[in-house]
């Protein structure tokens, strides 16, 4: 869609029978809670890596050897501080009672949960239909975490006559526990991860923590939407603790800090309601200043600028290069168009804020490697000379910006395969990814973690204990 920079609007395109595989696949993945994860996170000096899995957090050395520190019994997501000694870690706890969850809300929030619980109690007692069809939140006023809190409050504070009304389903409600999502600062000791400070606790799921380059603030994504489409919002909190503040809602999952740690870049949708009936949202590549020159969070965000209009998908990404350029993924569409004209793959563009009149395509039109249609994410190398591009069925390509040359890093394709972890970099010349080998029987082997350098890939996960592989490498 040929929109000049800054012309993102709240318009919506209806595409009825037109080809829209890319956008709808991404929306389906988001609605199903399938946000992509970066499981391997290398320290700034590349000497060790945190391995964040669905069941815990682990540490490995440069060869992949598992080291003693571990945090088990929780899904984990993380990012290193610049000092290489601390991690920003997303992890979980449990709230088995409303009294456990109540302190997570301010007074207005507690009153709101109480009101919804009381309303749900009254509607349940008067309800005559199938309990499977009962809507706890008929007006879309609650986030996913709020719904869990309402159920706890309903059970613990408004249980009168509910046991008889719910019958066999009462036992499910009786055993209900809500997940408390935490963002904490951990130090990495020789034998343990040690929690130093809890920065945020809440019932809405947290994704993709990103420490600012100066280490003073942490951005993260959170599913706090009150809509059925489960859109995610971007938040920021100081590394010293305090209120987590929303930067933007309805954002794509790939965002980045500016090199000076003052601003954030992200792709956001620009409509107030989720797309329905085959409609597609327009969005924008947006930057916003969140910190002053000293690195402190501003009382009010400044200079929010919609720089480029795009077709919005929640699975797009953006990076802020050291020279100030903004590189991002998007689909390229020119209207009017028939269904045969619609894009079947995303590509990459770059905007130089010093010359904002136009954007430049990054990948050449002769780029022939397939990219994952529903995953418009990429990972630039530390020296910003190369980029890793996930492909369909677990494939992965490396593209060199200067020469336009492409290499396939994972060429064993599994028809049912998918990206089990977003690729990353250990150094400017060493990529890290999850891939499969060709087995002796001609079938893909089990996925493993690989380090790739100068055309050679080395497996580093073969000796990992079962608990490190559970839930992602071994399913």
Q: Which of 160, 176, 192 represents a domain boundary (last residue)?
A: 176
Asked if 266 and 338 sit in the same domain, the reply is: yes
Output the pLDDT for position 227. 57
Q: Which residue has the higher pLDDT, 464 or 12?
A: 464
Asked if 382 and 430 sit in the same domain, the reply is: yes
Number of domains in the chain: 4
Asked which of 70-74, 205-209, 462-466, 471-475 is least confident by mean pLDDT, the reply is 471-475
Give a yes or no: residue 20 inside a domain. yes
pLDDT above 80 for 108? yes
Output the pLDDT for position 375. 79
Give a yes or no: residue 295 inside a domain. yes
What is the pLDDT averaged over residues 330-355? 81
Give a yes or no: residue 230 inside a domain. yes
Q: Which residue has the higher pLDDT, 204 or 231?
A: 204
Compute the residue count for the chain.
475
Q: Where are the beta strands (DSSP E) in 366-447?
A: 379-380, 386-390, 396-400, 406-410, 424-427, 430-435
Highest mean pLDDT among 31-45, 61-75, 224-238: 61-75
Output the pLDDT for position 362. 92
Asked if 410 and 469 sit in the same domain, the reply is: yes
pLDDT above 50 for 187? yes
Pick the closest to residue 312 from 38, 36, 30, 34 (CA basis).
Answer: 30
Scan for tokens 């060199």, then name that residue: 400
pLDDT above 50 for 253? yes
What is the pLDDT averaged over residues 241-268? 96
Residue 11's pLDDT band (cuts 50, 70, 90): very low
Q: Which of 126, 152, 176 represents a domain boundary (last residue)?
A: 176
pLDDT above 60 for 158? yes
* Full domain range(s) for residue 329: 1-31+253-369
Give a yes or no: residue 318 inside a domain. yes
Asked which of 111-120, 157-166, 362-371, 381-390 is least confident by mean pLDDT, the reply is 362-371
pLDDT tens per residue across span 307-339: 999 988 889 999 999 999 999 999 887 777 776
Question: Using CA atoms, how far apart are residues 204 and 189, in angstroms rounded to an integer?
Answer: 29
pLDDT above 50 for 7? no
What is the pLDDT averaged over residues 185-201? 96
H or E stretch including 28?
Answer: helix 21-31
Q: Which residue has the higher pLDDT, 375 or 207?
A: 207
Q: What percent of the chain has pLDDT over 90?
A: 66
Q: Is residue 449 exposed (0-12), middle (13-18) or buried (19+ Cβ within 10 Å)? A: buried
In sequence order, the 6+-apart residues with CB closer than 8 A to the CB of 384 are 321, 322, 401
Asked if 86 and 196 sit in the same domain, the reply is: yes
Cα radius of gyration rounded to whole Å, the chain: 23
Output the pLDDT for position 273. 52
Give a yes or no: residue 247 inside a domain. no
Asked if 71 and 190 sit in the same domain, the reply is: yes
Give a yes or no: residue 67 inside a domain. yes
Output the pLDDT for position 356. 80
Give a yes or no: residue 248 inside a domain. no
Query: Largest Cα–Cα distance of the chain, in whole Å?
Result: 72
**CATH assignment at residue 187:** 2.120.10.30
Asked if 312 and 364 sit in the same domain, the reply is: yes
Residue 44's pLDDT band (cuts 50, 70, 90): very high
Output the pLDDT for position 171. 92
User: With the C-alpha atoms ordered 340, 342, 348, 350, is the resulting torsion angle positive or negative?
Assistant: positive
pLDDT tens per residue across span 415-462: 665 666 899 999 999 999 998 877 677 777 788 999 999 999 999 999
Asked if 221 and 75 sit in the same domain, the reply is: yes
Give a yes or no: residue 60 inside a domain. yes
Residue 19: how many other CB atoms lie within 10 Å: 16
Asked if 444 and 398 sit in the same domain, the reply is: yes
Pick the closest to residue 7 from 248, 264, 306 (CA basis).
Answer: 306
User: With the C-alpha atoms ordered 332, 338, 341, 345, is the resulting torsion angle positive or negative?
Assistant: positive
Asked if 101 and 87 sit in the same domain, the reply is: no
Residue 6's pLDDT band (cuts 50, 70, 90): very low
What is the pLDDT averaged over residues 32-42? 80
Output the pLDDT for position 231. 81
pLDDT tens per residue across span 377-410: 999 999 999 999 988 888 899 999 999 999 988 8
Asked which of 42-56, 69-83, 387-401 is least confident by mean pLDDT, the reply is 387-401
Asked if 403 and 417 sit in the same domain, the reply is: yes
Q: Which of 129, 145, 176 represents a domain boundary (last residue)?
A: 176
Question: What SS3 state is found at 357?
Answer: coil
This prediction has a pTM of: 0.89
Asked if 67 and 189 sit in the same domain, the reply is: yes
pLDDT tens per residue across span 256-314: 999 999 999 999 997 655 555 445 678 999 999 999 999 999 999 999 999 999 988 88
Output the pLDDT for position 49. 98
414 token code pair: 């599994």
Asked if 188 and 73 sit in the same domain, the reply is: yes
CB 432, CB 38: distance < 8 Å: no
């Amino acid at each position: 869609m040929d929109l000049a920079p800054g012309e993102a609007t709240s318009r919506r395109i209806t595409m009825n029978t037109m080809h829209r595989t890319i956008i709808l696949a991404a929306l389906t993945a988001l609605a199903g809670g399938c946000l992509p994860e970066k499981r391997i996170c290398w320290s700034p000096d590349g000497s060790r890596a945190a391995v964040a899995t669905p069941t815990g957090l682990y540490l490995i050395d440069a060869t992949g050897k598992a080291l003693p520190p571990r945090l088990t019994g929780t899904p984990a997501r993380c990012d290193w501080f610049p000092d290489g000694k601390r991690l920003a870690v997303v992890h979980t706890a449990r709230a088995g009672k409303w009294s456990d969850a109540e302190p997570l809300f301010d007074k207005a929030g507690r009153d709101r949960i109480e009101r919804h619980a009381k309303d749900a109690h009254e509607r349940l007692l008067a309800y005559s239909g199938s309990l499977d069809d009962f809507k706890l939140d008929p007006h879309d006023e609650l986030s996913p975490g709020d719904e869990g809190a309402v159920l706890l409050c309903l059970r613990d504070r408004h249980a009168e006559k509910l046991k008889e009304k719910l019958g066999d389903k009462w036992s499910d409600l009786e055993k209900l526990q809500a997940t408390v999502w935490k963002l904490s600062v951990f130090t990495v000791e020789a034998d343990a991860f040690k929690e130093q400070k809890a920065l945020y606790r809440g019932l809405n799921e947290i994704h993709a923590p990103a420490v600012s380059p100066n280490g003073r603030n942490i951005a993260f994504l959170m599913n706090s939407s009150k809509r059925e489409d489960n859109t995610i919002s971007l938040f920021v909190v100081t590394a010293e603790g305090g209120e987590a503040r929303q930067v933007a809602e309805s954002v794509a999952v790939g965002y980045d800090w500016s090199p000076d740690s003052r601003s954030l870049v992200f792709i956001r949708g620009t409509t107030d309601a989720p797309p329905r009936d085959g409609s597609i949202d327009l969005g924008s590549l947006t930057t916003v200043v969140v910190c002053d020159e000293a690195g402190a969070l501003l009382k009010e965000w400044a200079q929010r600028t919609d720089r480029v209009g795009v077709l919005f998908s929640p699975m797009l990404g953006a990076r802020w290069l050291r020279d100030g350029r903004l590189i991002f993924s998007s689909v390229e569409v020119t209207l009017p168009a028939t269904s045969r004209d619609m894009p079947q793959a995303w590509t990459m563009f770059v905007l130089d804020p010093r010359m904002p009149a136009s954007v430049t395509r990054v990948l050449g039109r002769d780029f022939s490697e397939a990219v994952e249609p529903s995953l418009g994410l990429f990972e630039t190398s530390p020296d910003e000379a190369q980029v890793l591009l996930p492909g369909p069925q677990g494939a992965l390509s490396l593209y060199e910006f200067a020469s336009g040359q492409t290499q396939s890093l994972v060429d064993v394709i599994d028809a049912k395969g998918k990206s089990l972890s977003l690729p990353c970099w250990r150094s400017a010349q060493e990529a890290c990814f999850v891939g499969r080998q060709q087995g002796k029987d001609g079938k893909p082997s089990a996925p493993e973690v690989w380090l790739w350098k100068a055309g050679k890939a080395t497996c580093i996960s073969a000796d990992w204990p079962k608990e490190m592989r559970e839930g992602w490498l071994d399913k």
